[in-house]
Structure 1
Amino acid sequence: MSDETKVGESAPALSEDERHAKKMAKKKAARDRMMATKEGEKGLIIVHTGAGKGKSSSGFGMILRCVAHGMPCAVVQFIKGAWDTGERRLLTTHFGELCQFHAMGEGFTWETQDKARDIAAARAGWEKAKELIRDPSIRMVLLDEINIALRYDYLDEAEVLAFLRDEKPAMTHVVLTGRNAREALIEAADLVTEMTLVKHPFRSGVKGQAGVEF
């Protein structure tokens, strides 16, 4: 006991900076203990769904991470493949050697107004997706808006789930985006994020704009 601290006296109060440092040290120790238990790696099934904006944007963010790490990857677009999007321009123009881009969709159902044509486009997209996923050199495959194709029964849900379970290489990540993801897909996935709609400019009469929507 120091000469300054007598019996029955409390230690000097810590400063705000000292309290913060002590609190963060405890958090770091707890975090380090938790991270020490996480050693495994695996190819993930990732689902981005919900009514809010950002599902495809998040998927393309992951694709760009793969590109930055030099990891071969691929994109299959199921619905809005006919659009001239910024992500499509960027990936095909600058990163075609790392990222294959297949725009298989022909627009939303109210645009084509042809169910048989929509189903045929979805099936073609799925066949291409299976080919890409089976390739063990491709580390991530983004299936953009496939949840919509599943929702409208353009693809067989059981077939898609069985393929992901039985044929996806162990270290391949597959990202599936789109509203209204089926419950069975959510159950089978390793990572699920639901985008919640809080506010959207479309409701105020603002149309989709380059750099924000596409």
Structure 2
Amino acid sequence: MKQNETQSLFQYWDRLRADRIAPLRTDIEPADIKKLLADTFILEKDARGEAVFRLAGTRLCATYGRELKGFSFISLWKEKDQRLVRRLSQNVFSSQSVVVLTFEGVSREGRTSFFELLLLPLDGGSANPRCLGIVSALKKTYWLGTDPIVEAALEAVRVIDPAAESTRSAARHILPVPTLAPDTSALTADADSARSNGRRFRHLVVLDGGRGG
């Protein structure tokens, strides 16, 4: 997790869950994360078992140029990525995985911006599974909120081990939000890591964390 907002929401979720796999959905207090609310969302399953937005923050809705409540989460993504995104979101519901996605958003006018998206499980019981999430732009470009994102293309997927991430979070300082400038050294390092530890899924490299299931 690279973004301050993503790290902050994860740390809040991690404190709430304590020694549980996930916190209860009733544990979430909006006042505790008021600085993040504009970019956060909650997913639930509809009658078909698909992930839909139950709630979405004002800035997130402005980014997509519409009220997201009731919309399909899968519909935000390019068709070639929808199957994988569906599977990942279902794993958050059913296996209580923690997932981080990096994606490129394409606006109505053809502009592009990169984002980090975090999915965190909430324990609502088998009848009411929920997922807490946040979307954070890697660079706060001037047009976000006025030229809506109409399509998203996956760039990277990470399945996080919460225990390991908690240790790293405690040991590091919060980093400033990075710019959008390409980092070729990071891409090379990711490619080397993928060859040794990852597996390919079409154009993506999927990197698993230590959590099983």
When the two structures are superposed, what TM-score results if normalisation uses the length of structure 1? 0.26
Structure number with greater CO (CA < 8 Å, separation at least 6) is: 1
- Structure number with higher helix proportion: 1
Larger radius of gyration: 1
- Structure number with higher strand proportion: 2
